[in-house]
Amino acid sequence: MVEDSWYLILSALLFTIGGAGLLVRRNPLVMFMCVELMLNAVNITFVTFARTLDDVGGQVVVFFVLVVAAAEVVVGLGIIVSILRRRPGATADDVSLLRG
């Protein structure tokens, strides 16, 4: 029998790895992937609580998180493409100013 707290601890570990990666890495694409890891950690938590409390709301929230993540990735990658086209090989350190 898998306890509920095990899922929560797994989710916490995944969130921690994603957050540390977001802080440490410099490549904007890899930073984006770390944000996806953190979103997935939150999704595991929502699904766990949905099952424990017998409430469909948790699963609906996960559905909306998926949609918003897809939209976020599309816009974010568009921004990254337009930045990298102007200055190839740019890292997150090179675009610290709000101007081209």
Which residues 45-84 are close enough to bind other proteins by CB under 8 A? 47-57, 59-60, 62-64, 66-75, 77-82, 84
Question: What are the structure tokens assigned to 98, written together?
Answer: 């709000």
CA–CA dist 19, 2 (Å, integer): 26
Scan residues 10-29 and list those touching other proteins (CB under 8 A).
Answer: 10, 12-21, 23-27, 29
Residue nearer to other proteins on the CB measure, 93 or 97:
93
Q: How many residues bind other proteins (CB under 8 A)?
A: 73
Question: What are the structure tokens assigned to 16, written together?
Answer: 């921690």
